[in-house]
Each structure stands twice: as C-alpha cells, then as structure tokens.
Amino acid sequence: MEPIEVNKHAFKLFDVLGIDNQGESWIYLPYDPFETFNEFKDWLAKTMSDNGTLLYAILDVKTQDLIGMSGYLRMNPEHGVIEIGHLHFSALLKQTSLATEAISIKHNISSKTAQ
C-alpha cells in the first residue's frame, strides 16, 4: 500500500477498477462510476486536496500491480477519530487474501495513528 499520487496512479486505477465491473462496486460509495478518465482524475485530485482525506493505492505484494484503493477520512486527532473509507477493490482484489491483508494493514496503521 502506498499513498496515491495522481500522476502516478490515476490512469492505472481508473483502468483496473473497470475490469469486469458493471457498476456493482460503486453501490456503497458516495459517487457514481466515472464516465471518463478525466472525470476520475479530477475527482481524485479534488478528494486528495481535502486535508481530512488520505488515499492509498493497494498494490499486489508479488507483482506490485495496482489492484484497488482505500483511504482515511474525517480524521480528527483531537478526538482520536479516523474513518476508513473510499474502499474500492478491483476484480483482481475482491475475495482474495490480499483484500483481507489490505484491511488489516489499514486497521494497524489507523490504530497506531490514533495513539
């Protein structure tokens, strides 16, 4: 997992989130599928400019291929609050041990951050 850099990750992320995806992976997200790469890239840049949001690229440990994204949002260190969100797993990540590992890593990082 690594922090998302728009110019480094946006194109591959847009591409991989569309693999075998008829829109079902967007159901629980507060935004709809993006029609174009430019719409996605603009959303990614805008979301990352929010001081309360950090987005991460989820990479396959063996291949280093980008396979999903996740983020922290509504961070409030004063109150010890952090939310894990913007979870979007590609078809390459769904229902794999890597998905479980990604969530575990996010939990461990957020637990250490909150201390």
Into how many domains does the chain fold? 1
Q: Are 90 and 103 in contact (CB under 8 A)?
A: no
Q: What is the pLDDT of residues 86-98, one digit of tens each?
A: 888 888 887 777 7
Q: What is the pLDDT of residues 39-56, one digit of tens each?
A: 999 999 998 887 778 899
**9 lies in which domain range?**
2-114
Q: What pTM did the predictor assign?
A: 0.81
Dist CA 83 CA 72 (whole Å): 5
CATH number at residue 88: 3.40.630.30
Token duo for residue 85: 């969100």
Q: For a pLDDT cut of 70, what percent of the chain falls above it?
A: 89
User: Which residues 6+ apart lie within 8 Å of 89 measured at CB?
Assistant: 25, 58, 67, 68, 99, 102
